[in-house]
Structure 1
């Protein structure tokens, strides 16, 4: 009897002691949910507390883009405060370019051309999909986005998604939207846009 009473007392004490721990962990559960709101990209978690470059480096689907950004000398710019909206082509998007295009652009003597292509994928400001869709609606079905390169991309809503059309008529589809960064937002696209 004494052993049963001691056991019950021990369980009661442990339950009482554990209750504050459960409440103390509740904010962490909410924090985990907030982190989970950012999608995985290239098999890696994307953190809203990291900048565009730090997150892009983690994505196995963006190694070509990262190499191109390094070759163009744009790392410091994209680590800056921004905010920037980056339409980030995947490795598959770069691989779909005509043979030799990527290799040619990565040559030191083509740095200006590479910079032009890369900055054509960047818009000043923090345009998440809600903001892009609002601009598209205000524009009667399309929105002209002025890129850092100086030319425009045309955004349109197709179904529930967003497409971008470049100055040559090429179209890219946003495949992963709203990847929040400490200095802006990334939207993954399935084609390289050409100025």
Structure 2
């Protein structure tokens, strides 16, 4: 009798725990962050986020994607000549800013394991970026990938140490 009671108790516990774990799983899925939210939460991409806002690209990078973003840090933007960021954020330079930002985005989700297998990638800008893998170092044009494969709900972020500029910008 005690064994039957123990089995019934365990079965009831199992039945009650399934919906709770399913609800927890669904809740964790709903809290996944998109590329923009990941960048904001990091605190290392304030300049990039400000540029995305000025270029009206936030909604695009919050959409389903998937996207691969080579994301320059605030320190990378600080390497640009004095006044460059301020100039690019002006409304009259919006098209140039869009060209630069979309040069950092590749359609689709390209992980680090896939990046090292190619020598270039077509960007949303339409211009390709050169990719060179040498041991543990991956370069995108002149920038070095310092952190790879930051997952987002709509793609992946690879952190780079320099802003990459499209040809003729």
TM-score (norm. length: structure 2):
0.80
- Show the counterpart of 2:145: 174
- Name the CA distance, whole Å, in 1 between partners of 2:38 and 2:97: 21
In structure 2, do the counterparts of structure 1 residues 103 and 164 end up closer, same or farther at CA, with 3 Å as the change threshold?
Answer: same
CA contact (8 A) 1:48 1:180 kept: no
Alpha-carbon shift at residue 50 of structure 1 (Å)? 1.2
- Name the CA distance, whole Å, in 1 between partners of 2:31 and 2:111: 13
SS of the equivalent of 1:76 reads helix
- Show the counterpart of 1:87: 70
- Show the counterpart of 2:132: 156
- Name the CA distance, whole Å, in 2 between partners of 1:98 and 1:105: 12
Give the one of 26, 34, 43 matched to 1:60.
43
Give the one of 77, 80, 89 matched to 1:97.
80
- Show the counterpart of 2:61: 78
- Show the counterpart of 1:38: none
Alpha-carbon shift at residue 159 of structure 1 (Å)? 2.0
- Name the CA distance, whole Å, in 2 between partners of 1:178 and 1:163: 14
- Show the counterpart of 2:4: none
- Runs of 4+ aligned residues of structure 1 deviating over 3 Å after TM superposition are none
For structure 1, which runs of at least 5 residues remain unmatched after alignment? 1-16, 36-46, 136-142, 166-170
- Show the counterpart of 1:193: 164
Aligned CA RMSD, in angstroms, stands at: 2.5
1:78-111, CA deviations, whole angstroms, 9 ceiling, x for partnerless residues?
Answer: 0111110000000000000011110000001100
- Name the CA distance, whole Å, in 2 between partners of 1:149 and 1:48: 30
- Name the CA distance, whole Å, in 2 between partners of 1:104 and 1:159: 37
CA contact (8 A) 1:61 1:90 kept: yes
For the pair shown, which has the larger CA radius of gyration, 1 or 2? Answer: 1
For structure 2, which runs of at least 5 residues remain unmatched after alignment? 1-9
- Name the CA distance, whole Å, in 2 between partners of 1:102 and 1:178: 26
Alpha-carbon shift at residue 51 of structure 1 (Å)? 0.5
